[in-house]
Amino acid sequence: MSAIAAYRALLRIVGPAYILVAFLGRIPLAMSQLGVLVLVSSKLDSYGAGGAAAGILAIANAIGSPLAGTVADRIGQRPVVLVQSLVGAAGLASVVLVTDPDASRALIFGVAGVTGFAMPQVGPLARVRWRPITRDEGDQRRLVDAAFSYEGAADEASFVLGPAMIGVLAILAEPAGALLAAAVILAVFGSWFAIHWTSELVAKSSTTGGAGSEPLWSVAFAVLVVAQLCIGTIFGSVQTGTAVLARADGHAGSAGLIHAVLGIGSVTAGLAITALPERILYATRMLVAAVGLLLLSAPLLLVDSIGSLILVIALLGFAVAPYMISNFALAGILVPVHRVGAAMTLLAGATGIGYALGASIAGRLADEGGHTPAFAVTVGAAGVAVLLAGVANKALREARPYVA
């Protein structure tokens, strides 16, 4: 089955409405981190405070998401995601209400933390649905591979549209308006994703066969968690460095639009990776993509203008989706089928923790030395990704696709 035929089959099975809803449902999370960073930084006039607030939101999401994923594995996604969507939407609105120069930073950070804890990880949960969705279809292995490639591209596309919406709305309606828009999108499309008929397939699958009785953690899975920590650090530091350079150039509100360029190449690469022969193992793809992250991020240390930053970020994006797709696909192979929800949300949570580290460290360094030290965090994280993929390559190569 060709890549195009696989994508057509997936669209036929679930229908275009599900694709749209699952995509829009993940955008508020992509908006929330940069939106909080821009809002708090501008209101409190401190990159450190903005980075800390965004980092706290990301860490709280990293803690809450695996817990929600574990519960969803046991009782189904519908009730879990519905509650998360409504509470998360209320939390985003609350961040806007409490962020003020005269407000206690502890209050701002606390509300950001509660919001992050509640927000659903729609992308990882959507990945969990594809195996039961395609269970009765021919060539399920190829369909699941295509689905994971699409989900990786969709995640990256959300991180194009999310920051872009923050950038546009920050100009038209201030950062506060951008976060309120994210709250509305989450309440509508997050809830719709929760009640979609595909959620019932996951519930039926996850409540049979002794869910939770098999071990989740292994050395190989731990490697994938650290790998996602690295990519999250890259995201957080790039966003922070971009915000710093944009503000220094007199275009602070355009930070989201500039950072969105990262996802253009990533979406393209993510959709194209399905065409790779199955003999090229995910471990090999992970290593090659990690090297690409390092080589393509290194020029960030030399950028000194918006134009050069856009060019470097656009090229860097081509390594991002292949790296993440390989990590999530390997998790689907290594983890028992009844623990996939917990595994996918754990990887997403690790990405959030990495984002928090990247944004926080880069923010503090930027307060002292500008955008270049912030981007040094990006390059350092990419170097760790290469080292990790190289050391663990042999163990990961032994993994083979799970067939339901």
Give CA–CA dist 350/267, Å, rounded: 21
| Token representation of residue 45 | 């006039």
pLDDT for residue 102: 83
Note the Cα 94 to chain centre separation in Å: 23
Give CA–CA dist 404/386, Å, rounded: 32
Give CA–CA dist 198/231, Å, rounded: 29
Cα dihedral 270, 201, 338, 137 sign: negative
Q: What confidence tens digit (pLDDT) does each residue in 190-239 have?
A: 999 999 999 888 765 544 444 445 667 788 889 999 999 999 999 889 98
Rg of the chain in Å (alpha carbons): 20
CB 19 within 8 Å of CB 28: no
pLDDT for residue 251: 67
Residue 2 lies in a domain: no
Higher pLDDT, 403 or 219: 219
Examine the pLDDT at 252 and tell me if it is beyond 80.
no
Higher pLDDT, 50 or 2: 50
| Per-residue confidence band for 48, with pLDDT thresholds at 50, 70 and 90 | confident
Compute the half-sphere exposure of residue 349: CA atoms within 13 Å on the CB side of its CA.
22
Residue 1 lies in a domain: no
Examine the pLDDT at 6 and tell me if it is beyond 70.
yes
Range 17-42 burial, b when 16+ CB lie within 10 A, else e: ebeebbbbbbbbbbbbbbbbbbbbbb
Residue 4 lies in a domain: no
pLDDT for residue 190: 96
Mean pLDDT of 247-251: 74
Alpha-carbon distances, residue 303 vs 163, 238, 389 (angstroms): 21, 12, 27
Q: What pTM value is reported for the model?
A: 0.77
Segments in 134-186 forming alpha helices (H)? 140-185
CATH number (domain holding residue 226): 1.20.1250.20
**Which range in 37-46, 87-96, 265-274 is most confidently predicted, on average pLDDT?**
87-96
pLDDT for residue 402: 47
pLDDT for residue 87: 96
Residue 6 lies in a domain: no
Domain count, the chain: 1
pLDDT for residue 203: 61
Residue 216 lies in a domain: yes
Segments in 186-252 forming alpha helices (H)? 191-195, 198-206, 219-248
Kindly report each contact of residues 274-281 with a partner whose C-beta sits within 8 Å and lies 24 or more positions away, as own/partner: 274/3, 274/6, 274/7, 274/145, 274/146, 274/149, 274/150, 275/2, 275/3, 278/141, 278/145, 281/396, 281/397, 281/399
CB 212 within 8 Å of CB 73: yes
Nearest to 377 by CA among 365, 389, 390: 365
**What domain range is 281 assigned to?**
15-397
pLDDT for residue 225: 94
Residue 3 lies in a domain: no
Note the Cα 46 to chain centre separation in Å: 25
Share of the chain above pLDDT 90, in %: 34
Residue 31 lies in a domain: yes
* Average per-residue pLDDT for the chain: 85
pLDDT for residue 404: 44
Give CA–CA dist 28/95, Å, rounded: 14
Q: What confidence tens digit (pLDDT) does each residue in 312-343 have?
A: 998 998 999 889 988 988 887 788 777 787 88
pLDDT for residue 397: 81
Higher pLDDT, 353 or 286: 286
Give CA–CA dist 256/261, Å, rounded: 9
Residue 341 lies in a domain: yes
Give CA–CA dist 61/65, Å, rounded: 6
